[in-house]
A and B are shown apart, each in its own frame.
Chain A
Amino acid sequence: MGHEPFTWLRGLGSAEHVATSALVVGVILAFAAYVRPRLASAEAAATPESRLTARSVAEAFVEAMTGLVESVIGEHAERYVPLLGSFFIFILLANLIGLIPGFTPPTADFNITFGLGAVSFLAYNVYGAREHGVKYLKHFLGPIALLAPLMLVVDVFSNLFRPVSLGIRLFANMFADHQVVEIFTSLTKFGVPVVFYVLGAFVAVVQAFVFTMLSAIYLALAVSHAEH
């Protein structure tokens, strides 16, 4: 594999991943613009659709997301559903676009996944500080007052590592997976790559789900009122 593989956006060089993620965002915004008027009418709130339409897809997605977030965070879960739902839908579509021939998944670039991890990190700290005020810093001290200096160091390091681990997990999964699909497609042109496409689709969904679940869990830890 000495030559660079063909992709539609290869002409953009190093901006290819950003352009592909802009394409994904464009698709999501187009769907949102299409479905919003249909959701906004009063009768839409009362009666569900009988067939599979854009409205029923949007409603099913929001319901599933709200159920998931509620099971992790508990009370006031609907505040966090927009953020976590956005993570899930963006990462899912960005991963899946890699399965279309001629596209590389934008999440196969560490800069993009680290950006997502950094947003998640910022989000749970801001929500935690908003919920608890200055007492949010007591979270880092641990339960026992005597061990506070040690626990502070350990907790700060483990918190700082969280966005990096979220980013590396997503990046390494999607990059390795895309490489495997590329290599097997160039080795055996027909038939066998289908197995790796199935694996790729599975990994895409699982990684989007795991990123969202972990962000929800970090949020739940930050805003929980259990100790107070």
Chain B
Amino acid sequence: MRRVGGSLWAALAVVAMADPAFAEVAAEGGGGLWYRGLIALAAGLGLGLAAFGAALGQGRATAEAMESIGRNPNSADRIFTPLIVGLALMEALALYALVIAFFLQGKV
């Protein structure tokens, strides 16, 4: 607890010392360093979170498909098509985040 508190104060101190410099830059142009930094951070982090969520869902779907094929090998053909459609729908959600990341990356 003490170690966490110490590093927290250190982080706050860094931010407090850095603020005046960034505030000057921000006062000049349309936003400055914080603006572009936060946009870049949003693009990368948003895509990473989306990929994480999609991977969870797709892994679960594939695992259940594998188990049902193992239980009934003759059903492999009938399971394959709905599995692929489901995987593509989950992939699409991650791809929406990719498109937003492209938009954001264009603004950096």
B95 and A168 form a contact (CB under 8 A): yes
Instruction: Find out whether the CB atom of B95 lies under 8 angstroms from the CB atom of A172.
Output: yes
Q: Is the CB of B92 within 8 A of A176?
A: no
Q: Considering the complex, give the chain B residue whose CB is closest to the CB of A169.
A: B92
A206 is contacted by which of B88, B96, B98 (Cβ under 8 Å)? B88
B17: shortest Cβ distance to chain A, in Å? 37
Contact of A213 among B81, B92, B95 (CB under 8 A): B81
B85 pairs with A173, CB closer than 8 A: no
B98 touching A165, Cβ below 8 Å: no
Q: Which residues from 82 to 108 on chain B have a C-beta closer than 8 Å to any C-beta of chain A?
A: 84-85, 88, 91-92, 95-96, 98-99
Q: Interface size of B by Cβ–Cβ distance < 8 Å?
A: 10
* Shortest Cβ distance from A214 into B: residue: B85
From B81, B84, B92, contact of A165 by CB (8 A): B92
Tell me the nearest residue of chain A to B81, going by C-beta. Answer: A213
A210 lies within 8 A of chain B by Cβ: yes
B99, A168: Cβ atoms under 8 Å? yes
Interface of chain B: mostly helix, strand, loop or mixed: helix
Q: Which residue on A lies nearest to B88, using beta carbons?
A: A210
Residues of B within 8 A of A168 (CB): 92, 95-96, 99
- Distance between Cα atoms of A217 and B85 in the complex (Å): 11
Report, as a range, how many residues of chain A touch the other chain: 10 to 19
CB distance from A37 to the nearest CB of B (A): 34
Contact B85 A172 (CB under 8 A): no
Closest A residue to B95 by beta carbon equals: A172
Q: For B99, list chain A residues within 8 Å (CB).
A: 168, 171-172
Task: Tell me which of A176, A209, A210, A217 contacts B98 (CB under 8 A).
Answer: A176
Q: Is the CB of A173 within 8 A of B91?
A: yes
Contacting pair A209 B84 (CB below 8 A): yes
Q: Is the CB of A206 within 8 A of B92?
A: no
Q: Determine the distance from Cα of A191 to Cα of B49 in the docked complex, in whole angstroms.
A: 32
Which of B81, B84, B92, B99 neighbours the largest number of chain A CB atoms within 10 Å of its CB? B92
Could you list some 7 contacts between A and B, CB below 8 A?
A: A168-B92, A168-B99, A171-B99, A172-B95, A206-B84, A207-B88, A213-B85
Which residues of A approach B to under 8 Å, CB–CB?
71, 165, 168-169, 171-173, 176, 206-207, 209-210, 213-214, 217
Chain B contact residues, CB within 8 Å of chain A = 81, 84-85, 88, 91-92, 95-96, 98-99
The 8 closest A-B pairs by CB, nearest first: A172-B95, A210-B88, A169-B92, A213-B85, A172-B99, A172-B98, A168-B99, A210-B85
